[in-house]
Structures are given as structure tokens and as C-alpha cells.
């Protein structure tokens, strides 16, 4: 989704991912923007995709654990020198809790963090996306196929405070233990909340998420509604053939 926004709209991202190394994150971004596995690229394709990723993604090293305040400070410093359209933090739950001398509880601390991110987003006209895990109870719920169902917005760790503060809320769900290989490759995107529906967005019906299948090379997604890729891979801009393999 980040690469889609960059290719289609020219967005530049700042990314902090505590669970993925910098090199693996950049390698994955290179594969998605070209729709090719790294070892299937030519030297020129690797060079072009590496430059594209470096031009559009600022990746914060995860050799230390940061608080939400640290990341806001990083964002402010980066924005003095570079135009950034969006920030992705993965996951919020991994951030260090730094209450210092504040006389508040953990609940109020996280509410304050959600409010600070929202204030920063509005003040700088920048999209701040927080990736969050669901609570354990939500992971135990099963559907008619005996597989976990998509969690609801209120199942987010930390409760409804993040739903309340967010302008938009998405739930991304996969059934990775399904015996059906086609289901295992499918991603459900449930749009749980859109604050400003006048701009064109709207929540999806409860049982009708947006559906996407990842291709056989794990380098691109196809919409089940249109049977097409989300964007034109950047290698096509260099007259290099690339397709979405089913």
C-alpha cells in the first residue's frame, strides 16, 4: 500500500519498523515496486529500484527502541530537510513507554500518544499510519470455516482510544492457516472508519471487505474485483517487461 501511494501519487514515506531489519524492508519495497523478486532482477533493475526506494522511503534504523515522542521528534527533524507525505510506524505496540515524571497512567499515556500523532498530522498535513496488533481474544474467534475472523476496530490493543482518535481505521486480515492455497494468498481489507466521507472514502460493509490476492512470486497484489494490479511496476517505465503472475 505504501509503494502504491508512491508510484501512483509520488508520496515520500518515513518508516519505522521495529520487527524488520532495514535491508529486508528495502528489499521488499524494491520487489513490490518492480513486481520482481530480487534475484530475478537484472543489475540495471536492482540499481533503478534501489534508487527509487531511497528517493521515496526514509527508513529509521531499529537498533534502538523509541517512544512516540522520539518518533515525532525524528519526523520534525526530517521535515526540515525533506518533503514527507506520510509516516508508517510498525507496530505501535513495540514503542517504548516513556512517562518520565508525568503523573498519568498507561491508559492516559496511550490516549495522549494518539492525540499527539493526530495533532502532528493535522499541523503538518502529513498522514501518520500506526500499525497495531489485535488483542488475544480477537485471535480466538472463529468463523464457519473454523478459521479466525477479522478483528473489529475495538479489538485493537489499547482499546477504543485509537479508533476514536483516528481519521481512518483499516483492518488487514489473512487466513494463513486455511487448507485452501487460494485463501491463504488472499488479503482482506476492512475499512472500519472514515471520518470525512465527503472526500469520497467510506467504510466497507461488515462482511464485504476489499479482497486482494498476492501473486505467485509474492511481489504484487491483484484486486479480485478488477483482476488487475494496483499500479504499473516502475520497471515498465524503463521499457522492461513485467507482469503479475497468477
The stretch 61-72 carries a mean pLDDT of: 91
Position 246 scores a pLDDT of: 36
**Which residues partner with 68 through β-bridges?**
none
**Which residues form the domain of 198?**
2-238
The stretch 63-71 carries a mean pLDDT of: 91
Phi, psi (5° rounding) for residue 96? -70, 135
Assigned domain for 246 exists: no
Q: Is 144 helix (H, G, I), strand (E, B) or coil?
A: coil
Per the structure, the count of domains in the chain is 1
Report which of residues 7 and 82 the model is more confident about: 7
Q: What is the pLDDT of residues 172-208, one digit of tens each?
A: 999 999 999 999 999 999 999 999 999 888 999 998 9
The stretch 48-75 carries a mean pLDDT of: 93
pLDDT at 237 over 90: no
Q: What is the pLDDT of residues 120-163, one digit of tens each?
A: 999 999 999 999 998 888 888 999 999 999 999 999 887 778 88
Query: What global pTM score does this model have?
Result: 0.89
Q: Supply the CATH number for residue 54's domain.
A: 3.40.50.300
Assigned domain for 138 exists: yes
Assigned domain for 225 exists: yes
Assigned domain for 233 exists: yes
Q: Where are the alpha helices (DSSP H) in the chain?
A: 2-9, 22-34, 43-56, 68-81, 106-124, 136-140, 161-165, 181-184
pLDDT at 243 over 60: no
Assigned domain for 200 exists: yes
Assigned domain for 245 exists: no
Q: Is 189 left (phi over 0), alpha (psi -120 to 50) or beta?
A: beta
In whole angstroms, what is the distance from residue 143 CA to residue 141 CA? 7
- Grid cell 516513556 is found at 98
Which own/partner contact pairs does 49-56 have at CB distance under 8 Å and 24+ positions apart? Answer: 49/234, 49/235, 50/26, 52/234, 53/26, 53/29, 54/26, 55/12, 56/6, 56/11, 56/12, 56/13
Assigned domain for 244 exists: no
DSSP 90: E
Assigned domain for 83 exists: yes
Position 5 scores a pLDDT of: 95
Q: Is 141 helix (H, G, I), strand (E, B) or coil?
A: coil
Amino acid at each position: 500500500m505504501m509503494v502504491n501511494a508512491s508510484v501512483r501519487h509520488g508520496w515520500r514515506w518515513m518508516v519505522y519498523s521495529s520487527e524488520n531489519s532495514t535491508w529486508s524492508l528495502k528489499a521488499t519495497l524494491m520487489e513490490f515496486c518492480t513486481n520482481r523478486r530480487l534475484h530475478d532482477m537484472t543489475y540495471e533493475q536492482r540499481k533503478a529500484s534501489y534508487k527509487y526506494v531511497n528517493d521515496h522511503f526514509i527508513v529509521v534504523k531499529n537498533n534502538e527502541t523509541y517512544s512516540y515522542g522520539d518518533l515525532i521528534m525524528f519526523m520534525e527533524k526530517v521535515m526540515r530537510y525533506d518533503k514527507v507525505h506520510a509516516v508508517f510506524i510498525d507496530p505501535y505496540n513495540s514503542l517504548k513507554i516513556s512517562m518520565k515524571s508525568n503523573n498519568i497512567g498507561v491508559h492516559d499515556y496511550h490516549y495522549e500518544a494518539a492525540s499527539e500523532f493526530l495533532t502532528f498530522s493535522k499541523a503538518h498535513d502529513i498522514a501518520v499510519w500506526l500499525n497495531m496488533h489485535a488483542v488475544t481474544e480477537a485471535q480466538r474467534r472463529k468463523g464457519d470455516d473454523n478459521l479466525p475472523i477479522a478483528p473489529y476496530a475495538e479489538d485493537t490493543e489499547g482499546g477504543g482510544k485509537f479508533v476514536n482518535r483516528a481519521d481512518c481505521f483499516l483492518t488487514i486480515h489473512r487466513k494463513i492457516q486455511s487448507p485452501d492455497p487460494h485463501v491463504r494468498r488472499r488479503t482482506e481489507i476492512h475499512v472500519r472508519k472514515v471520518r470525512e466521507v465527503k472526500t469520497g472514502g467510506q467504510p466497507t460493509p461488515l462482511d464485504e471487505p476489499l479482497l486482494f490476492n498476492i501473486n505467485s512470486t509474492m511481489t504484487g497484489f491483484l484486486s479480485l474485483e478488477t483482476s488487475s494490479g494496483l499500479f504499473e511496476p516502475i520497471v515498465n517505465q524503463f521499457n522492461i517487461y513485467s507482469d503479475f503472475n497468477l
